Structure 1
Amino acid sequence: MRNKRVIYIDVIRDVAMLAVVFVHTCTNMIVSGQGSRLWAPANILETVSEVAVPLFYMISGVTILNSSRTKDLKYLFKHRLVRIGVPFVIWTIISAFFFQIVGDGFKLDLILKKIAMIYNQPVITAYWFLYPLLGFYLLSPAIKTFVDGANKSTINYILILWYITNIVLSGMVNSLPPEMGTYFNAYGNGLMFLSNMGGYFILGYKLSNIAKEKINLKLHVSIFSIGMLVAIINMYIVARYSLQQMPLSGFPTSILLPILASSLFLILKKFEGKYPVKVQVVVEWLAPLTYGIYLIHGIVIALAQSIVNPMNYIAVFGISIVVCIISVWIMSKIPLVNKYFM
């Protein structure tokens, strides 16, 4: 894609980043705050925010699969993997020290063990996002070769296959009691490389190549609004009345997620070229900071929760996002830190 920043991609990046931080600030309330007046809003807002991770993978697919440099293995290993991998490793080490010290005191052997296990599991749960993303980066030259040579029908076929196997059937496994869900659980050795998140990678590429003039704004606003309402009602009823074991209790939400993410993506793309100048300035300023914010937000949230009541997720989010933005912005002004930490 061209060097000039694409505003709607930056808007999606900023919105998704804010949503991810918010979800992680309200976890305590959702898990143990039932009965509080803030519990229902937390569930509603978390459901709305679930589109964040799919959107992140979708814009990764947009930027990588539309780039002419993606087939260049030298560029991949000298630039792309370094840019995402080095900060990830550095903040993994920092996080291992931080959470061990604040949790159980300084125990170097446990810290080193956590760091040594980085290939096996993330040091903190929030970092799970980077594992499939690094895999897509490694596979990106092959995926780029595929999408460049494939026609629309083939790409649609791959996405339909992904939706059935990784979204619908996977949703049934997670939404049915174990004794029933096992019938829809794929045999491990039969799984294809196109994982749950992998489909979003290609989906973003496909949607990015739809001309904004062909996007029906009213249609996608309707789809997103109705779909989100169904997802919110579904998850609220399931959580409110403890129906987690009811057959297919969370199924509607799981199968709606790709549809909701796609509609929101197209809605935001439709406004490309129409965003107010002041909004563009803020969006373009914030977008380069999002990866750094993602990397440090777990530590910042933990610090914020030590200052205010962890159940007050609104206050925790407010403090966390402000501290994250300011901290990353300051670090981005230091060349060496910006190069290796962000």
Structure 2
Amino acid sequence: MCLFDEFAHVAVPVFVMISGVLFLNPAKEVTYDRVFKKYLPRLGVAFAVWSVLYAFYLTAIATESIQSNGLLLTYVCNLIRGPLHFWFIPMIAGLYLITPLLRSFTSDANLRKAFLLLGLIFALALPSISDLLALSSEPHVVAFASAYNNLVGDFNFQFAVGYSFYFVLGYHLSTIKVHRPIAFLVVGVLALAAGTWLVFMQSGMEGKPNVTLMTNFRVFVFTGSVGLFAFAKETMQFWSPSAKVAGCVRWLSDRVFGVYLVHLFVIYAFEAVGLNAVSFNTFLAIPVATLAVFGVSLLLVAAIRAIPRVGKWLT
């Protein structure tokens, strides 16, 4: 599970980097008028409609919350919070909102590099050092880690942290030539393997799962994401798909947002009949369950898309 989870974590950073390539490109018009009329409404409608549906299910299984907070408040809280994977929608909406501001300086290579340097320090390096110090229970290290964390926390620096860092990084990498892309990929894979091992060892020592080193803003996932992105960026330009393959890619890409929206319902359904990551040998169960969830979700999206007028807005 650690292995699959660690390698799967590159998905969001790479997605955000690709988004940065597209939205920070000076050739693309991204104004606040366009953001509020095109991009945000699509996200808002999807969040509102599917959050209503997910909230019914989440409320139905929240017996303890209903007993303490009541049925209505439990439903309203689930409606506002959304299901566990909906954190992604406000995050993307936030990036859309700051895109016109980012574009005002990302066209300048020096300012772009300064932003990324600050991000490397405050979004990646300092938190990663804190987590690595936490691996030790030696009293002197614990004392040093406490002082270190207090110092880092006092900076309260927010400018170049968060997913805006990956957003700008993706665009920056698209503007430069990456030499030896295979080396980038190899280093990225090795970093993810190292992160897998550390998470496994730390969880074993604590007797419970600890996936802090597996988050998107730690050195292992960062290195793996950059390695994959750089490799794909330099090698995919030599790929010339046939018209049929390109058509399939476009068809699929137009529906994966819908797959993202509905797939948790499919997971719930599969779990109800006993299909999950531990149904049988985990190394096989995870990819089998993943393919099954993706396939059924895609069929659902195709069915929803058949609804006139509203189908595309819902997926």
| TM bucket, shorter chain | 0.7 to 0.9
Pick one of 176, 181, 185 that aligns with 1:217. 181
Does structure 1 residue 53 correspond to structure 2 residue 12?
Answer: yes
Matching residue's letter, 1:90: V
Shift of 1:145: 1.4
Give the distance between the partners of 2:115 and 2:225, measured in 1 at CA. 18
Does structure 1 residue 194 correspond to structure 2 residue 160?
Answer: yes
- Where relative contact order (Cα < 8 A, 6+ residues apart) is larger, the structure is 1
Size of the aligned set, in residue pairs, is 290
Shift of 1:250: 7.1
CA 307–103 in structure 1, closer or farther in 2 if over 3 Å, else same: farther
CA contact (8 A) 1:98 1:299 kept: no
Encode CA deviations 1:140-160: one digit per residue, 9 max, x unaligned. 111111212x2x232122112
Shift of 1:225: 3.1
Shift of 1:79: 0.4
Give the distance between the partners of 2:301 and 2:206, measured in 1 at CA. 40
CA 181–324 in structure 1, closer or farther in 2 if over 3 Å, else same: farther
Alignment of 1:1-342 (within 5 A): 42-66=1-25, 68-104=27-63, 107-115=71-79, 118=80, 122-148=81-107, 150=108, 152-177=109-134, 180-181=145-146, 183-184=148-149, 186-187=152-153, 190-211=156-177, 214-242=178-206, 254-269=218-233, 270-274=235-239, 276-277=241-242, 280-310=246-276, 311-312=278-279, 313-314=285-286, 315-342=288-315
List alignment gaps of at least 5 residues for structure 2: 135-141, 280-284
Give the distance between the partners of 1:294 and 1:67, measured in 2 at CA. 29
Tell me the C-alpha RMSD between the 2 structures: 3.1
CA 87–111 in structure 1, closer or farther in 2 if over 3 Å, else same: same
Give the distance between the partners of 1:91 and 1:249, measured in 2 at CA. 31
Matching residue's letter, 2:239: K
Shift of 1:207: 1.5
CA 102–243 in structure 1, closer or farther in 2 if over 3 Å, else same: closer
Report the TM-score when normalising by structure 2.
Answer: 0.80
* SS across alignment from 2:310: helix
Give the distance between the partners of 1:164 and 1:207, measured in 2 at CA. 18
CA 245–96 in structure 1, closer or farther in 2 if over 3 Å, else same: closer
CA 288–250 in structure 1, closer or farther in 2 if over 3 Å, else same: closer
Matching residue's letter, 2:11: A
CA 321–71 in structure 1, closer or farther in 2 if over 3 Å, else same: closer
Give the distance between the partners of 1:308 and 1:47, measured in 2 at CA. 24
CA 69–272 in structure 1, closer or farther in 2 if over 3 Å, else same: closer
CA contact (8 A) 1:47 1:232 kept: yes
Encode CA deviations 1:18-40: one digit per residue, 9 max, x unaligned. xxxxxxxxxxxxxxxxxxxxxxx
Q: Which has the larger radius of gyration?
A: 2
* SS across alignment from 1:271: helix
